[in-house]
Amino acid sequence: MIIKNGKIITWEKENRILDGQAILIQGDMIKKIAPVEDLLREYPGEELVDAKGQYVMPGNICAHTHFYGAYARGMAIPGAAPKDFTEILQKLWFRLDQALDEDSVRASAYVCILDAIKHGTTTLIDHHASPNFIDGSLDVIADVVDETGIRAALCYEVTDRGGEGRMKAGVEENMRFIRKVQSSRPGDGRLSALFGLHAGLTLSEETLDACRRANNVGAGFHIHAAEDAADEYDSLTKSGLRTIDRLQKHGILGRNSIVAHAVHVDIKEIDILAETGTWVTHQPRSNMNNAVGMAQVEGMLRSGVRLGLGNDGMSNDMWEEWKATYFVHKLWHRDSRRMPASLIEQMAVYNNAELATDLFNVGKIGKIEPGAQADLIFVDYHPYTPLTTGNLPWHIVFGFHSSMITTTMVAGKFLMQNRQLIWIDEEKIAREALGFAPDVWKRFVTISQETLEA
């Protein structure tokens, strides 16, 4: 197709905003950018799509999320409210994931991916857990990814908290799925796989070694680290090392691996993350919700850490994550000069694009240029002040809203057009997810009561 009459935000490293240009898409890739008359003359048989003056830009990328967290929305937690991060894990997440079965895993993937499409997020890096449905759980999610047309990287979080049997099942699920993706590349390159680990505080020395030995095919790891100070103290108790030092000792870090949060790392740990080229993801809305503090984002970027932006299972509206990042660091440091929007642009656009490009190996992702994947969104934004490449990040923070996204495309296929979902029946998905929710919540309450009695 040829997309005409759009103002093109390229998100190239030297970003450009192009007016009077059109985009030629062939297959899943951007083929050419040129005046529409030139493209029509050279490619007369192509479908013509009118962007109607909207901004056409690469889709947003989420570097860390949890589809399975969908069923936490509106759910009451029995007993007193959790007082700290450890209790949040124990009272909420370690019970919710046990309440999930095949149907609810599938439904949670559907609703989160639907949410992403509507909010212009075209690539998701998920971190899954369902201790009572491990074997084949990643296939269930992958089927939803394939059906909906989104781009996603999947893994299963290995943990010791369910015993040795479940730990080994998690290892096997990761390796089975990694080999499957590496051998077949289903979904036309829209699917990728990592080796998931929960966090150091639920992993023994023996399990970390076992995971490193099992992962013999070069896949990166995806793990939470130093989200709360409890992770650091647990690591010191178990190994005498801080969290990042411990992960380095066990061979978990590296250029293909992702560490989520890194809120409570020290200067040496930041150096290790930078030296090993490990990806770190920042999730400010989650950090605020869990009251764990804020990562040293500016310091990590200055130190050369490859730092991206995720949402940790909050809504897949990544511009909301931009806004949270911009405001919370000013409040956290009590300094309005902190966290300029240009740094958020570096994380959310350029770093996330580099991470996605590395993971999916299908050409560049997150840019509009020849040879890049055609993952695009149309944004119906009408600025009343000048919009330039220099001030675009501030327009996003103060002006852009997800309600302005009218069209979402992944790999050259429309998933939403003119605010109408193409492949997904939203009402049906919501109805089915709602049908499973009462049983999930009932199991959650039962697990909570059994835990309290024990």
Residue that has been written with the tokens 């919501």 in this structure:
430
Residue 429 belongs to some domain of the structure? no
Residue 142 belongs to some domain of the structure? yes
pLDDT above 90: residue 17: yes
Q: Name, in order, each residue with C-beta under 8 angstroms of 52's C-beta and a sequence gap of 6 or more.
A: 5, 6
How much is the pLDDT for 58?
98
Of the given ranges (117-126, 232-241, 441-450), which has the lowest mean pLDDT? Answer: 441-450
Residue 441 belongs to some domain of the structure? no
| Residue 27 vs residues 184, 223, 296, 357, 369: alpha-carbon distances, Å | 19, 34, 41, 18, 15
Residue 440 belongs to some domain of the structure? no
Q: Are strands 221-225 and 258-261 parallel, antiparallel or unpaired?
A: parallel
Mean pLDDT across the stretch 85-89? Answer: 96
Residue 83 belongs to some domain of the structure? yes
How much is the pLDDT for 348?
98
* Cβ 154 vs Cβ 141: under 8 Å: yes
Q: Which residues of 312-342 are buried (b: 16+ CB within 10 A; e: fewer)?
A: bbbbbbbbbbbbbbbebbeebeeeeebbbbe
pLDDT above 80: residue 187: no
Query: DSSP secondary-structure letter at 175?
Result: H
* Cβ 145 vs Cβ 190: under 8 Å: yes
* Cβ 324 vs Cβ 285: under 8 Å: yes
- Predicted confidence band at 55 (pLDDT cuts at 50, 70, 90)? very high
- List phi, psi (to 5°) of 39: -65, -40
Residue 338 belongs to some domain of the structure? yes
Q: How many domains does the chain have?
A: 1
- Domain range enclosing 149: 60-360
Q: For the beta carbon of residue 184, count every other beta carbon within 10 angstroms.
A: 9
Q: Six-digit token pair at 254?
A: 């590296």
CA-derived radius of gyration, the chain:
22
Look over the chain and give the mean of its residue pLDDT values, rounded to a whole number: 96
Percent of the chain past pLDDT 70, that is, above it, reads: 98
- Predicted confidence band at 184 (pLDDT cuts at 50, 70, 90)? confident
How much is the pLDDT for 453?
67
List pLDDT tens digits, range 34-53: 999 999 999 999 999 999 99
Domain of residue 88, CATH code: 3.20.20.140
* Cβ 376 vs Cβ 49: under 8 Å: no
List pLDDT tens digits, range 94-142: 999 999 999 999 999 999 999 999 999 999 999 999 999 999 999 999 9
Residue that has been written with the tokens 């084949």 in this structure:
136
Give kind and range of the element (H or E) at residue 62. strand 60-65
How much is the pLDDT for 425?
92
Residue that has been written with the tokens 């509507």 in this structure:
118
| Alpha-carbon gap, residue 412 to 148, rounded angstroms | 13
Mean pLDDT across the stretch 223-235? Answer: 98
Mean pLDDT across the stretch 444-449? Answer: 92
| Burial (Cβ within 10 Å: 0-12, 13-18, ≥19) of residue 212 | middle
Residue 419 belongs to some domain of the structure? no
- Predicted confidence band at 188 (pLDDT cuts at 50, 70, 90)? low
List pLDDT tens digits, range 329-371: 999 999 999 999 999 999 999 999 999 999 999 999 999 999 9
pLDDT above 70: residue 391: yes
Residue 423 belongs to some domain of the structure? no
pLDDT above 80: residue 254: yes
| Alpha-carbon gap, residue 290 to 155, rounded angstroms | 23
